[in-house]
């Protein structure tokens, strides 16, 4: 028995197939364009949009109080000249007013509507096998250094650090402050 088809079903099938094909094509293009993930300054657009909007003027780096914003070298390919943060050298210190964003003339950096609340620069992970507190040593350097405070990084009753994802902005201050080498923390730049 032949089942009649509805034109809308065929259109829906075409749209979903075409949409999926476009999404896959965009992912492949982004993988070719974005060869390295950088931790961008606060308010950065998704990576491909950021690369298109950023004029590489460096104005965002000038008002940064800790001088955390660096500019990618020519080895960065299409990202050359764009601002990024290397938390191992100097992390973002979570300035309440985000002067770097306000200095951006192009909109490549835009002030998040809720400021730091709910915003992430990167994802932070603890590597317990590196952390001295899991080896019986007392340490709270990371928690004391965190500019957000206990709502982002605290110590549990056993003296181990606990990352609170809902409060952590991924600034990297704990990565730099950590007494272990390599650091007991790893940052992964946010995905667009």
Residue-by-residue DSSP string for 113-153? TTTTTT--SEEEEE-TTT-GGGGT----HHHHH-SS-TTTE
Query: With the CA atoms of 56, 60, 62 and 68 taken in that order, what torsion angle do they form, in degrees rounded to the nearest 10?
Result: -100
d(CA 148, CA 120) in angstroms, rounded, equals: 12
The pTM of the full predicted model, rounded to 2 decimals, is 0.77
pLDDT at 120: 93
Give CA angle at 67 (42, 172), nearest 5°: 55
Q: Return the domain boundaries, the chain.
A: 38-119, 122-189
**CATH 3.30.70 assigned to 38-119:** yes
pLDDT at 156: 97
Model confidence at 6: pLDDT above 60: no
Confidence bin at 21 (pLDDT 50/70/90): confident
CATH code of the region 122-189: 3.30.70.20
Distances from the Cα of 154 to the Cαs of 120, 145, 161, 165, 179, in angstroms? 18, 11, 6, 11, 16
d(CA 19, CA 11) in angstroms, rounded, equals: 12
d(CA 53, CA 47) in angstroms, rounded, equals: 10
Model confidence at 24: pLDDT above 80: no
DSSP-derived letter for residue 1 is: -
d(CA 141, CA 161) in angstroms, rounded, equals: 10
pLDDT at 74: 87
The tens digit of pLDDT for each residue in 85-127 reads 999 899 999 999 999 999 999 999 999 999 999 999 999 999 9
The tens digit of pLDDT for each residue in 45-76 reads 999 899 999 999 999 999 999 999 999 998 88
Neighbours of 163 (CB within 10 A): 19
SS3 label, residue 14? helix
Q: Are strands 83-85 and 153-155 parallel, antiparallel or unpaired?
A: unpaired
Domain 38-119 matches domain 122-189 at the CATH topology level: yes
């Amino acid at each position: 028995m032949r089942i009649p088809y509805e034109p809308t079903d065929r259109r829906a099938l075409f749209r979903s197939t075409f949409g999926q094909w476009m999404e896959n094509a965009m992912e492949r293009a982004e993988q070719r364009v974005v060869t390295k993930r950088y931790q961008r300054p606060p308010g950065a657009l998704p990576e491909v949009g950021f690369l298109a909007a950023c004029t590489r003027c460096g104005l965002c780096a000038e008002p940064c109080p800790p001088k955390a914003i660096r500019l990618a070298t020519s080895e960065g390919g299409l990202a050359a000249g764009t601002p990024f943060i290397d938390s191992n050298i100097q992390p973002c210190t979570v300035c309440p007013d985000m002067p770097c964003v306000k200095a951006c003339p192009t909109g490549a950096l835009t002030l998040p509507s809720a400021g730091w609340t709910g915003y992430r620069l990167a994802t932070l992970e603890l590597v317990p096998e590196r952390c001295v507190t899991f080896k019986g040593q007392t340490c709270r350097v990371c928690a004391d250094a965190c500019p957000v405070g206990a709502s982002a990084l605290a110590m549990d009753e056993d003296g181990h650090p606990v990352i609170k994802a809902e409060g952590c902005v991924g600034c990297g201050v704990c990565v730099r402050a950590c007494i272990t080498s390599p650091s007991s923390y790893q940052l992964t730049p946010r995905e667009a």
